[in-house]
Structure 1
Amino acid sequence: MPPPPAPAAAPLAGDDRPLPGPIVQPKSRWVPVRWAELPGFQDDALHEAWNAWIRSCERPVAPFVALCAEVRQLSIATLEEQRAWMVARLQPYRVETLEGAAEGLLTAYYEPFLDAARQPGNGFGVPLYRLPAGFGQRKPWYTRQQIDTLPEAQAALQGRAIAWVRDPIEALVLHIQGSGRLRIAEPDGSTTLVRVAFAGTNDQPYQSVGRWLLDQGLTRDATWPGIRAWLAQNPQRTQELLWSNPRYVFFREEPLPPLDAQFGPRGAQGVPLTPGRSIAVDRLSIPYGTPVWLASPGPQAALQRLVLAQDTGSAIVGAVRADYFTGWGPEAGDIAGRLKQPLRLWVLWPR
């Protein structure tokens, strides 16, 4: 016999008003629910999300403008005060597809952190480019393979390298993530910490190198650890793997002062991302700046927490779909490279 259903959580104080009607977005349907439906709401360290929320208030969407002064005031409130305010001022809605499905997919992304040099040599042989000369006159621009092989593509990129890194696969990861941090060895012997932020693409379609390996029957593990294990056994096929993804990303260099180093790059909302509290969404399902309750059971990381919709991505498409920002560096990369698990979302919308 199937196990009995779990008992419903007790209603929260103040959550006894009549529920409003559903809200329909271009790619999703929001169904109003009681706060008790949100798994782990009583247990989350909400103050960890408050900095991300204050960041969203730098560029708030219209329904939240009136609440942002209160959000800022509550940054020094107790967890109980923050939780009571949310119940009083916000209405949770379960996010579903237009067909009524409430479960989707959670993945993760991060900011790679690489050693680099201003000039090629001494093992630094992979360039990270600014936008090429004459960019925009040709669409789509050259593919990744053509950039590596055609003299006319190389001519347009002459003198456009921001820096050079050692590993072509780490550079590909940087392209896929869209931004990263560089520890650059300068010609005078000093070291500079900078961010390389997304500036544009060659307008070619993105193709997953993991999917290419699976389709070729070359591996059963398409996570980044699995991809690197395959490359360690097949180094002569590195270029073939790289060229399977025709999309190429160009960057711009940004300074990284100490205060900015505590946050990630600016997401599509235009505000810096907060590790563990920012997500990328499909903006046709959830508007930027919306506080969201996220619930995802393992296997990599069981998550039940308040997050902010502050970014998007070309692969983040659909109603119940999110990409979770894990931070920067190897540990964040390891989590992001493995996280792919079921997801449920609730938007928290002003009453």
Structure 2
Amino acid sequence: MGALLRALAFCAMTAAGGGASAQVLEFDSLDGWAADDHRAALSVFRATCPQLTGPEWQPLCRLADDAMHSGASARSFFELFFKPVQVGAAPALFTGYYEPELPGSPHPTPRFAFPIYAKPPELAPGAVWRSRAEIESGALRGRGLEIAWLDDPVEAFFLQVQGSGRIRMPDGRVMRVGYAAKNGHPYRSIGQELVRRGTHRIEDVSAQSIRDWVRRNPAEGAALLLHNPSYVFFRKLTDLPADQGPIGAMGRPVTPMRTLAVDPAFTPLGAPVWVEKDGAEPLRRLFVAQDTGGAIKGALRADIFYGTGAAAGDRAGTVKDGGRMLVLLPIDRAFAMLPEN
């Protein structure tokens, strides 16, 4: 059974077993559905559609090609062949992520002293390896695994949180790096730790506030970052065009404001997902689940990709909003998730 069908089967079993409930809705109950750019969403869906497994998906992928000629045909495609399904009880929690662009160097210098590493060859998939504290203490030093050096340990930490980035070298060249592996330790939230310590209120925690606190408190800040034992290793992306986003969990570039990172145990990778995000910047938009994240766990948890660079980071770093998310599933699969009476 493919990964997609395993995820769907898990959802169905969970619903039937009294855990997260599944509810099949109609498109006219989706707030803002008619106003969205369905053709833009369909274009993103088609990019990873060939990777979806299962007999119910591939016929839809072929039909998707024919539905691209207008916004009306794209909307009809989704409405004819899918049903919106909500797994679990609202509200959902939405955060944001982005692709940082950071100054760096291919060699260590007095300014650029903080390395990012390639995957150690002995690290087996799924294995628990050295912790962040051990790595930061020099466990990999001298092995030639350094990909680049950055000038700020806080930005090196957040590059791992984002999972991809662009590093601008002193000569102007840009190196693209993407996720290669992690050390197998669980992700622990730095923001939640600050709340536990009483330095922040939950509503005040953001990427920017964490950066500011760590920089104002260098010794305590360095120790705080070690609270998260999870560590991400990178690989160079040598053939990725500059106008495309970073590589997501499905092995294809992600798209700003159309790609969603999800928990694949509940939301199948490659599936369309309708988002109704509230907050300071409300969104009513069709996304595609094309990525994952260490902190993205649960049926109603999602991370919105905001794009590349500092402006995208400023927008993504403050997002912590409630709302509603529904996965669009082929009609037969949607009704198969409902518990039997």
Report the TM range for the smaller structure's normalisation: 0.7 to 0.9
Task: State the match for 1:69 in structure 2.
Answer: 62
Asked if 1:293 is matched to 2:286, the reply is: no
Q: Match of 1:255, SS?
A: coil
Report if aligned partners of 1:59, 1:271 keep a CA contact under 8 Å in 2: no
Structure 1: 5+ residue stretches without partners = 1-22
Instruction: Choose from 212, 231, 235 the match for 1:229.
Output: 212
CA deviation map 1:34-59 (0-9, x unaligned):
21101101101222223211112231
Question: C-alpha distance in 2, partners of 1:267/1:29?
Answer: 28
The alpha carbon displacement at 1:182 in A equals: 1.5
Task: State the match for 2:337 in structure 1.
Answer: none
CA deviation map 1:198-253 (0-9, x unaligned):
11122222222222222222233321121222234323433212222222111111
2:223 counterpart letter in structure 1: E
CA distance 1:86–1:136, change in 2 (3 Å): closer
Instruction: Choose from 164, 167, 174 the match for 2:159.
Output: 174
CA distance 1:183–1:25, change in 2 (3 Å): farther
CA distance 1:124–1:66, change in 2 (3 Å): same
Task: State the match for 1:103 in structure 2.
Answer: 91
* Misfit runs of 4+, over 6 Å: none
Q: For residues 253-332 of structure 1, what are the structure 2 equivalents within 5 Å?
A: 253-258=236-241, 261-299=242-280, 301-332=281-312
Question: C-alpha distance in 2, partners of 1:339/1:296?
Answer: 10
Instruction: Choose from 58, 61, 68 the match for 2:50.
Output: 58
Q: Match of 1:108, SS?
A: strand
Question: C-alpha distance in 1, partners of 2:211/2:196?
Answer: 17
Instruction: Choose from 194, 207, 218 the match for 2:175.
Output: 194
Report if aligned partners of 2:113, 2:151 keep a CA contact under 8 Å in 1: yes
Q: Match of 2:33, SS?
A: coil
Question: C-alpha distance in 2, partners of 1:265/1:138?
Answer: 23
Which structure has greater helix proportion?
2
Structure 2: 5+ residue stretches without partners = 1-10, 332-341
Larger radius of gyration: 1
Is the deviation greater in 209-218 or in 285-294? 209-218
CA deviation map 1:137-195 (0-9, x unaligned):
99532222222325xx145x52110010111111100111111122233xxxx443222
Instruction: Choose from 158, 161, 171 the match for 2:143.
Output: 158
What number of residue pairs does the alignment pair up? Answer: 314
Question: C-alpha distance in 1, partners of 2:229/2:109?
Answer: 26
The alpha carbon displacement at 1:30 in A equals: 3.2
The alpha carbon displacement at 1:25 in A equals: 5.2
Question: C-alpha distance in 1, partners of 2:270/2:125?
Answer: 34
The alpha carbon displacement at 1:327 in A equals: 1.3
Q: Normalising by structure 2, what TM-score?
A: 0.85
Q: Match of 1:53, SS?
A: helix
CA distance 1:257–1:175, change in 2 (3 Å): closer
Q: Match of 1:246, SS?
A: coil
Task: State the match for 1:19 in structure 2.
Answer: none
Question: C-alpha distance in 1, partners of 2:132/2:66?
Answer: 49
Task: State the match for 1:129 in structure 2.
Answer: 117
